[in-house]
Structure formats: C-alpha cells, structure tokens
C-alpha cells in the first residue's frame, strides 16, 4: 500500500480542519481501506466560542458522509470535555449517547456525529483515523488472528478484543489504551473490526495508517495469502433473464415489497459461488460489524427463498429472547444470494442499496479467500451478528426512514428514451423512485444520465436480437421488469396515399407496429413476474381516433398498435398485467416534430406555427412532460383497476370530441 500524500495538494488545505478533510479523502480513495461510508476520522481543534472563551472541539465525521468526498461541513463539532466526562460513566445506553452527542454539538446544522465519537475523544491525539482495512480484517477473522497480530506488530499497536460499537467499545478502548500504550504506540487494532491510527498531524496519522496496513499486507504476501489465483470457470452464455425475474419475484414476496436484484456473473463471483466449501465459508459471518449493518444477514445459497426465510425466522427466534429490549423482526428476505449459475446476486430496496451490498460482499469474498488461504476463515459468532443487526441505533434509523418513493424497488423500460416524450418518461419514472432502462437508436442514450438507477442502451427496436440482448442486460442489472412504456416511433413527412411508396409504408409499420409487437412478446414473461403486477403504457396518437390526410402510414400504424394493445389487455389480464394507451397530439418538443414537419403541417391547416401549436379546444400547448407525467401515473395505484383505457392528452381536439 502506497501513501497518496502530496505536498502540493496538501498546501491547498491550510487549516487543521482542511487537512482533516484532505487526508480523509485520501483514505476514502482506497476501497481496500474504506468502502461506502465505512470508517471515520476526527481532529481536535481549540476555538473561541461565542463568549470569547477557548474551547476544544472534536470534529468527527458525520453520519451520511463518505470519506472519499467529505467536506468540512461533513464533520460534526462536539465539545471534547463533555465527551471525556461521558467516557468516565459506568453505563450509557445508545439512545442516551446519541442524545448527548447531538445536544453537545456547537453547530445545529451539523450531521449527527459517529457512534464512535467518544472513542475518538478518549484517544490523546490531535488526529485520529479509523478504517476497516481488508488486510487487517483478514488477519483478525482467523482462528489464530490474535497471535498473528501480536507477531506482526509487537507492541506498536494496542489490541482490543471485539465488542459491539458504541459506548462500551469506547470504554474498553480507553482502558486498553491506558494499559498497553507507550510513547512508540502507532495505532490500535480492534479484532474483527478494523484499525485506528493517530498522530499530532494529519500527515503523520495518515501515513501511520498506510504503514500499519502495509505490514499486514506484506505478511499476507509472505504467507501467499494476498494475491488470489485467477478463477477458472465458464461464463454462462444462455439467457437467464426469466430465471432472474422469477427469483426477484420470490424475494419480493418474502420481503413484502418490490426489490432490486443485481446479478454479477463475473468469473470471481461464479467461482466463489461454485466452491465445494461455499456452504461453510459463506455462512460464518460478514467481515466487519459495519458489513453486518449493510448486508443485514448471511448469504442465501441457491434460490430457495422460502427455506431461507424460514431459517432466518428460526435464527431470530433463537436470539431475540436474549436481547435486552424486545425486537421486531426485519423482513426475512436475503440481501446476498450465491448461485452456481447466476453467481453473486445482491438485493436492495433501491439500486444504490443493492450496489452497496454488492461492493461489500465482493470485498468480503476476497477477505474470506485470503483468510482461508492463511489457514481458515473465522468470523463473529452468530450472537454478535444478531446483536449488530438488531442494534438499537440501527433499529431507530429504520424507524425514522420515511415512506419509500412510489416506485421504489421497481423497474421500467422506456423506448425512444433519448429525447422528447421518452426522455420525459424517464425523468418522471426516476423521480418516482423507479430504476429505468432506456432504449434508443441514438447513441446519446448511453450518456443521458450518469446515475446507478438508469441504464441507457443503444438498441434498434426493429432488431429482435438487439431487443433480446438489451432485455438480458437490463434484467441482470436490476432484476426484472415491472413497467413498459412503448414510445419509440417515427412520423414521416406528409404524403397522400396515391403517391405513398411501399418502402415508406413498411418502414413506418416496422418501427411503429412490428417493433412494439416484438417488445410486448419478449417482455410479457418478465411482466408476469412483476411483484405488483405488470403495467404497459402505449404512447399512441390523436390520429387513432381522428386521422388526418397525408398521414396514412403513421395513422394506420398507430391504429394497429392501439388494436394490438386492446387484444393484449384481453389476453394478459389473467396475468395481472394492465395495458393503457395515451393519445397525445401536437407535442412539439419531440424528435418527430422537426421544423420541416411542423411548418408543413401548419401550412396544411392554413395556420402559423404559433397558432398550430395551440390549435386545440383549451388553447394550450401540450409538452412532453405533460404526457410523461400521465404515463407514469398510469403505472401507479390510481389506475390499478384500469386496463385497455385510451386517454387523450391533446388540449381537446374538436374532431376527437
């Protein structure tokens, strides 16, 4: 492990808190040290309070901030003397501790400080760093971990046995430091948890962390337990989207709400899932307490979700009676699934949640394999895992979490998603919490949004193989399909029937009709597995009820699509899939309405372009967003008992009325 400290970079951080920000970010850059908000850092600074008195404050990383991107505002300033006084108490419950942390901050807008604030306070150093370094976690999660730590570090570190984070850990660390520390002490190792380093300056504390972790890595290298052999396993080529969608449905049924299911069939994940001893090594617990909170429970082996849920309930019944306070069981669905065909599957209420679990468990796999190579993986006992999972602070956090977004855990697919109504539909669905797969022939779709809950793919919807590939990729990313918005289409220049080339007719039919038939056929098995029932919205046209001259191919294709939707509503109702159509008109902020087309249609009706845009009963302009918002609502509970409906979005058209 190499130090990332750079004097030129550091010079841009002149203050004590600024340097705390800088080295925190250095730690956060390395995922072998810190992963998804894990770890914390602090600095003790003397400042004048509002009365002009000197007061020493402990600035400690606040809840909700990641070290990699933390700013000064992400550190909570708490009064150091009060924290030291608290450390002398015999007992302090978690709720009491949180209350003391919050009521003794000096900035009301600051985030809640770390649950390890008192621990940071008791360490007599200006700068304190704490990480869950993979190498340290590997060493301490072995049967001989304590002896190995002593052999590697001698008396350079204070060693603390495992205890759950909170006040008791702070007192134990303070006691261990008082008994073991000396002038050459560089850090502190918490068994099955992580490592602390500290020093008088930000640079010293940071580089001590790098040095201490490097010792552990070098030990693992000498024991041939650091570099993992390349896995030898075949990557499945057969489509697996229906299996994945079925698995997601089963998980959602046990959880009681729709979930995102991300599937990683990479060689490392598949090789681990296919190990002969996976039933043993995967069931011994997460790498650190932080991972217990994130992944919630042990992995499920295979796809028998009901059996897993029953086992988890039995696990709860075994340990809940021993808990200090009555506990309410969380949903019994797994968060990690290891399957010999699918590889590593991770579950979350959102894409972000599933991604966090995936990243953590991929690191856990590496830690387990290294510890196994070192002589045997041995994690926390089941009782400690239960205590962490049902920790008072974690339970309180869950109770405070607000109502999830309307489409949390659900997945939508939108065609023609790069612009116009399609893009507006993407926006409306994302705003309601859905994960969205966007398809478009325009390469811009891949760069439409850089966020984990959007997957944009270039796809010619007239190409059956391309559609199948896109669906396979989308389902592997998110787990299935709940909503389908068929929006892609073309509107050719006006042409009378007597001069309409058959090639143009076929092109319009191929895109506006045939492609949607293929999409409906290929997505039907996925929509059948939607936890809340599948939903399809067809973006039709005013030309269905009221066609106009010069638009024969377009009008006929949209009318045929509308009829296809009606037939599908009859056939798919028994599968819990509802299909409704929207008929917009004169939506001019779409790709179909080029200046050329707009001017031609306005001229056809003897109107100016401005007049043509508002040529409806209400005299209003209809936008893509207007259509998209109604399309999204059609996928929601307001339309739960409606199928085969046709709703105009046109400001009122006299010919339709």
Q: Kindly list the catalytic residues.
A: 554
Backbone angles phi, psi at 462, to 5 degrees: -90, -5
Count each helix (H run) and each strand (E run) in the chain, helices first.
25, 18
Strand-strand pairing, 187-190 and 300-301: unpaired
Q: Is the dihedral of CA 304, 306, 307, 313 positive or negative?
A: positive
Backbone angles phi, psi at 647, to 5 degrees: -120, 125
DSSP state of 532: T
| Extended strands (E) in 208-323 | 260-264, 300-301
- Round to whole Å and give the CA distance between 329 and 331: 6
Q: Hey, what long-range contacts does 172-180 have (CB within 8 A, 24 or more apart)? A: 173/119, 173/122, 173/123, 174/87, 174/119, 174/122, 177/122, 177/123, 180/155
Give yes or no for a contact between 504 and 492, defined as CB atoms under 8 angstroms apart: yes
H/E stretch holding 254: helix 241-255
Query: Residues with Cβ < 8 Å from 211, sequence gap 6 or more?
Result: 186
DSSP state of 575: G
Strand partners, 496: none
Nearest to 601 by CA among 616, 584, 586: 586
- Round to whole Å and give the CA distance between 266 and 152: 34
DSSP state of 510: I
Give yes or no for a contact between 161 and 175, defined as CB atoms under 8 angstroms apart: no
Q: Order of strands across the sheet with 40-48?
A: 75-79, 54-61, 40-48, 127-131, 194-199, 187-190, 157-160
The three-state secondary structure class of 493 is: coil
- Round to whole Å and give the CA distance between 339 and 270: 8
Give yes or no for a contact between 49 and 55, defined as CB atoms under 8 angstroms apart: yes
Nearest to 166 by CA among 91, 251, 222, 230: 91
The torsion defined by the Cα of 436, 437, 440 and 443, in degrees rounded to 10, comes to 100
Backbone angles phi, psi at 495, to 5 degrees: -155, 130
- Round to whole Å and give the CA distance between 336 and 156: 37
- Round to whole Å and give the CA distance between 290 and 170: 16
> Helix axis angle, 145-153 relative to 202-222, nearest 10°?
120
- Round to whole Å and give the CA distance between 29 and 228: 22
For residue 375, the tally of other CB atoms under 10 A from its CB is 14
Q: Order of strands across the sheet with 300-301?
A: 260-264, 343-348, 336-339, 300-301
């Amino acid at each position: 492990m190499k130090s990332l400290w750079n004097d030129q970079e550091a010079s841009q951080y002149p203050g004590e808190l600024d340097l705390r920000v800088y080295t925190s970010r250095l730690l956060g850059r390395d995922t072998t040290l810190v992963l998804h908000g894990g770890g914390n850092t602090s600095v003790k600074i003397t400042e004048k309070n509002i009365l002009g008195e000197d007061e020493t404050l402990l600035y400690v990383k606040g809840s909700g901030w990641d070290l990699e991107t933390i700013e000064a505002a992400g550190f909570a300033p708490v009064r150091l003397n009060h924290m030291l006084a608290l450390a002398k108490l015999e007992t302090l419950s978690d709720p009491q501790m949180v209350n003391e942390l919050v009521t003794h901050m000096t900035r009301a807008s600051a985030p809640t400080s770390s649950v390890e604030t008192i621990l940071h306070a008791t360490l007599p150093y200006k700068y304190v760093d704490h990480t869950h370094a993979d190498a340290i976690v590997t060493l301490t999660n072995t049967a001989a971990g304590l002896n190995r730590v002593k052999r590697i570090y001698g008396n350079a570190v204070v060693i603390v046995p495992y205890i759950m984070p909170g006040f008791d850990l702070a007192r134990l660390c303070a006691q261990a430091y008082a008994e073991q520390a000396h002038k050459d002490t560089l850090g502190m190792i918490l068994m099955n948890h992580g490592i602390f380093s500290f020093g008088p300056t930000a640079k010293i504390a940071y580089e001590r962390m790098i040095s201490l972790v490097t010792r552990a890595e070098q030990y693992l290298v000498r024991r041939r337990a650091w570099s993992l052999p390349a896995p030898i396993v075949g990557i499945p080529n057969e489509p697996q989207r229906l299996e994945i969608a079925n698995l997601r449905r089963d998980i959602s049924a046990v959880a009681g709400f729709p979930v995102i299911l991300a599937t990683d069939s990479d060689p490392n994940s598949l090789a681990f899932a296919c190990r002969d001893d996976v039933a043993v090594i995967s069931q011994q617990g997460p790498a650190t307490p932080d991972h217990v909170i994130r992944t919630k429970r042990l992995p499920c082996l295979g796809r028998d979700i009901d059996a897993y849920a029953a086992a988890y309930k039995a696990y709860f019944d075994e340990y809940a009676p021993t808990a200090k306070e009555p506990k309410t069981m969380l949903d019994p669905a797994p968060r990690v699934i290891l399957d010999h065909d699918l590889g590593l599957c991770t579950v979350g209420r959102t894409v972000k949640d599933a991604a966090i679990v995936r990243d953590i468990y991929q690191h856990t796999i590496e830690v387990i394999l290294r510890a196994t190579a070192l002589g045997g993986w041995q994690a926390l006992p089941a009782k400690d895992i239960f205590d962490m999972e049902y920790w008072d602070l974690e339970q309180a956090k869950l109770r405070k979490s607000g109502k999830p977004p309307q489409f949390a855990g659900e997945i939508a697919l939108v065609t023609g998603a790069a612009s116009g109504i399609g893009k507006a539909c993407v926006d409306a669905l994302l705003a309601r919490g859905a994960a969205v797969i966007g398809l478009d022939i325009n390469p811009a779709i891949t760069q439409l949004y850089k966020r984990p809950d959007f997957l944009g793919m270039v796809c010619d919807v007239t190409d059956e193989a391309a559609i199948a590939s896109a669906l396979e990729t989308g389902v592997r990313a998110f787990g299935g399909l709940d909503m389908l918005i068929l929006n892609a289409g073309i509107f050719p220049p006006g042409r009378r029937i007597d001069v309409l080339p058959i090639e143009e007719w076929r092109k319009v039919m191929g895109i506006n009709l045939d492609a949607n038939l293929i999409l409906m056929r290929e997505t039907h098995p996925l929509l059948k597995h939607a936890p809340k029932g599948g939903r399809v919205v067809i973006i039709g046209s005013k030309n269905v009820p009221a066609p106009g001259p010069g638009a024969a191919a377009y009008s006929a294709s949209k009318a045929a699509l509308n009829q296809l939707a009606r037939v599908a509503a009859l056939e798919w109702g028994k599968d819990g899939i509802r299909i409704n159509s929207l008929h917009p008109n004169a939506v001019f902020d779409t790709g179909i309405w080029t200046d050329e087309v707009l001017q031609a249609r306005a001229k056809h009706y003897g109107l100016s372009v401005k007049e043509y845009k508002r040529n409806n009963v209400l005299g209003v302009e209809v936008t893509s967003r207007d259509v998209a918002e109604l399309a999204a609502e059609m996928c929601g509970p307001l339309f739960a008992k409606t199928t085969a409906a046709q709703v105009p979005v046109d400001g009122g058209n006299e010919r339709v009325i």
